[in-house]
Amino acid sequence: SVRLDIRRIGAIKEGQDVIGNRTRVKVVKNKMAPPFKEVEFDIMYGEGISREGDILDLAVETQIVEKSGAWFSFEGERIGQGRENSKTFLKEHLEIKRKVEHKILDHFGLIKKPKEKEKEEKNK
């Protein structure tokens, strides 16, 4: 059995309209893994959990995307002023989104290397 504490920690607005919620989830009880882990993510109305928001958060956390004040930059190019504008940029520019996502997966070691390269590394 699992018990989760789900809390809305803020509203995501576009002008005066609320377009989503920033949400924090804490694992209170879990039989299969250690409890008390926390995660924050955006739930956008009509969309669900924002993939671009997660990519942006992880990229900033791993320093793949630099954040300077309200500006977000990737490989020296500014991608947006403010979090929502940066998420929109990633949604509209799929190639850059894929690059950022690939670098995040590589950072956490989640990209499988071809078998030939693995053999070369083992022989060294």
> Which residue did the predictor score with more confidence, 117 or 63?
63
Domains in the chain: ranges and CATH: 1-49 (no CATH), 51-113 (3.30.250.10)
What sign results for the dihedral spanned by CA atoms 51, 53, 55, 58?
Answer: negative
> Is 80 exceeded by the pLDDT of residue 113?
no
Q: Report the C-alpha gap between 85 and 90 in whole angstroms.
A: 9
Mean pLDDT of 92-105: 96
pLDDT in the model for residue 111: 86
The tens digit of pLDDT for each residue in 1-17 reads 899 999 999 999 999 99
pLDDT score for 17:
95
Give 39's strand partners: 25
Backbone φ and ψ for 33, nearest 5 degrees, come out as -150, 165
pLDDT at position 119 is 61
Question: Given this model, what pLDDT does residue 122 score?
Answer: 64
pLDDT confidence tier of residue 99, bands split at 50, 70 and 90 = very high
The DSSP letter of residue 32 is: S
pLDDT tens profile 30-59: 998 888 999 999 999 999 999 999 999 999
